[in-house]
């Protein structure tokens, strides 16, 4: 099928950047991203590019280049589905918070709603592309909805999981390690391969069956998260043995079979997907009674929770076993640098632990505002909104944030943190002045020379 119009349902962290790049590289295809969230669509259409709902380096430039030419953001979902030959489903698939599989399985209600919407309004044949991360065999459910419309409309279903990482999304999309397309119909697969083929070399476009494609996405995230939990497990051992986790990571990473990437010990991984996708994998394995498999992957999450908890425990015990009434400055709230996304950020959980101990928290993040910080804490339902509001304050200046603080906790590896005048920060803190570097970004010798009591992960 020749593709002239693409519809993407879901204008989020994946839909937005992915479609912007598809539009840039395919000027002859009209790409429309639709969403039920009117506020989000309005932000995507804002004249002022700094108001785009997603911060991602390089994204605003591409939106500026394509928006209004062949890239459109709209709430007209039905009309856009109707006119398009290819429809991407890129809606959220969070962990279920109710019913069977609560806390483990992926909640597929948004995906199912999309499938029903497509089934209802389509009057011509469509290729439906699963872009959201979905449990293996979800395409079966989508197929069943789309193939039982009683209409004379043909639907082909493809799985095309996305591997971009936030903060580097545009680079990842422009130069992907691979594009994965799972499907049954050769024609449909080639239609999608052609869209990517305008910039991705053919040898990097991998064709598989639908089930391998769905499962590869969960597996890739599980392997990546497993590496972080593995190095974080070693970081704790380092702290007891005078080994240095950075040296260990370098030494093992030089083994070409292991490789150097994704071996940064940290406060624990965050983000909207690693935990959700592993829990989903564990749930699927258990549903097939594969308990050894499920236990194996579950340990990645258990270790990650342990890593976050031990960071806050260490901070509390170092501050003489109490943080009650003490100002703790948190630098960074996003789950990683170069994004405004805070979903599952380790900072939220560390703050929550410290608030249970009655700490006063001051937050500075270059891209996250107070409204978001409060919403993240309120979502946990640990204490009242008033208490969160009283105990947690956000600042727009790192020096204000750390003034009179007993300790600084570095939660996100923003580059700008390395460039601060740390002597100035030290001079205005309570003494002894502690730094807990949850990202290992500062230089221990320099910090100690200034006078800080500096501790990091795995050293």
Ligand X SMILES: NC(=O)C1=CN([C@@H]2O[C@H](COP(=O)(O)OP(=O)(O)OC[C@H]3O[C@@H](n4cnc5c(N)ncnc54)[C@H](O)[C@@H]3O)[C@@H](O)[C@H]2O)C=CC1
In this complex, which beta carbon is closest to ligand X, that of residue 240 or of residue 371? 371
In this complex, which beta carbon is closest to ligand X, that of residue 132 or of residue 412? 132
Minimal distance in Å, beta carbon 170 to ligand X?
A: 12
Minimal distance in Å, beta carbon 73 to ligand X?
A: 11
Contact partner, 10, from ligand X, ligand UGA, none, Cβ < 5-8 Å per class: ligand X
Binding-site residue numbers are: 10-15, 35, 40, 91-95, 132-133, 166, 273-276, 343
Minimal distance in Å, beta carbon 307 to ligand UGA?
A: 9
Contact partner, 91, from ligand UGA, ligand X, none, Cβ < 5-8 Å per class: ligand X
Contact partner, 101, from ligand X, ligand UGA, none, Cβ < 5-8 Å per class: none
In this complex, which beta carbon is closest to ligand X, that of residue 114 or of residue 351? 114
* C-alpha to C-alpha distance for 458 and 446, rounded to whole angstroms: 18
| Residue 7 is among the residues annotated as catalytic for this protein | no
Contact partner, 224, from ligand X, ligand UGA, none, Cβ < 5-8 Å per class: ligand UGA
Query: Binding residues for ligand UGA, per CB under 6 A?
Result: 133, 162-166, 221, 224, 228, 262-264, 266, 269-274, 335-336
Binding-site residue numbers for NAD(+) are: 10-15, 35, 40, 91-95, 132-133, 166, 273-276, 343
Query: Binding residues for ligand X, per CB under 6 A?
Result: 9-15, 35-37, 40, 77, 90-93, 110, 113-114, 132-133, 162, 164, 166, 272-273
Minimal distance in Å, beta carbon 366 to ligand X?
A: 19
- Catalytic residue selected from 8, 114, 238, 273: 273
In this complex, which beta carbon is closest to ligand X, that of residue 114 or of residue 294? 114
- State which residue has the least CB distance to ligand X: 12
In this complex, which beta carbon is closest to ligand X, that of residue 185 or of residue 219? 219
Enumerate the active-site residues.
273
């Amino acid at each position: 099928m020749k593709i002239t119009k693409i519809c993407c349902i879901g204008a989020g962290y994946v839909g937005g950047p992915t479609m912007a790049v598809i539009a840039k590289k395919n000027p002859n295809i009209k790409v429309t991203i639709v969403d039920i969230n009117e506020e989000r669509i309005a932000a995507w259409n804002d004249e002022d590019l700094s108001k785009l709902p997603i911060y991602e380096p390089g994204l605003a430039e591409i939106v500026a280049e394509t928006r209004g030419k062949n890239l459109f953001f709209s709430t007209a979902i039905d009309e856009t589905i109707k006119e398009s030959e290819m429809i991407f489903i890129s809606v959220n698939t969070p962990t279920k918070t109710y019913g069977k599989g609560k806390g483990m399985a992926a909640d597929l209600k948004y995906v199912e709603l999309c499938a029903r919407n497509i089934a209802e309004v389509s009057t011509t044949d469509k290729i439906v592309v699963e872009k959201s991360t979905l449990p293996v065999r979800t395409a079966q459910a989508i197929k069943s909805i789309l193939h039982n419309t009683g209409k004379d409309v043909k639907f082909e279903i493809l799985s095309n999981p996305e591997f971009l990482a936030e903060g580097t999304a545009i680079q990842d999309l422009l130069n992907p390690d691979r594009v994965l397309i799972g499907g049954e119909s050769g024609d449909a697969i080639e239609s999608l391969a052609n869209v990517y083929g305008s910039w991705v070399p053919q040898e990097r476009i991998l064709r598989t069956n639908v089930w391998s494609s769905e499962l590869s996405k969960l597996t890739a995230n599980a392997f990546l998260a497993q590496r972080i939990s593995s190095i974080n497990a070693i970081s704790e051992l380092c702290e007891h043995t005078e080994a240095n986790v950075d040296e260990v990571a370098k030494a093992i990473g030089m083994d070409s079979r292991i490789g150097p990437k994704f071996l940064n010990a940290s406060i624990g991984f965050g983000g909207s997907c690693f935990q959700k996708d592993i829990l989903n994998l564990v749930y699927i394995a258990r549903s097939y009674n594969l308990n050894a498999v499920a236990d194996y992957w579950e340990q990645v999450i258990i270790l990650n929770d342990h890593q976050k908890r031990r960071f806050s425990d260490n901070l509390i015990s170092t501050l003489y076993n109490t943080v009650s009434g003490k100002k703790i400055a948190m630098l960074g709230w996003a789950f990683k640098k170069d994004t405004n996304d805070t979903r599952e950020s380790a900072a939220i959980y560390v703050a929550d632990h410290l608030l249970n101990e009655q700490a006063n928290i001051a937050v500075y993040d270059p891209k996250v505002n107070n409204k978001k910080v409060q919403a993240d804490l309120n979502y946990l339902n640990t204490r009242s909104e008033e208490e969160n509001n009283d105990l947690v304050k956000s600042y727009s200046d790192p020096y204000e944030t750390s003034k009179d603080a007993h300790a600084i906790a570095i939660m996100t590896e923003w580059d700008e943190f390395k460039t601060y005048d740390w002597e100035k920060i030290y001079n205005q803190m309570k003494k002894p002045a502690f730094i807990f570097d949850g990202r290992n970004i500062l230089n221990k010798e320099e910090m100690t020379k200034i006078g800080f009591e500096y501790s990091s992960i795995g050293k």
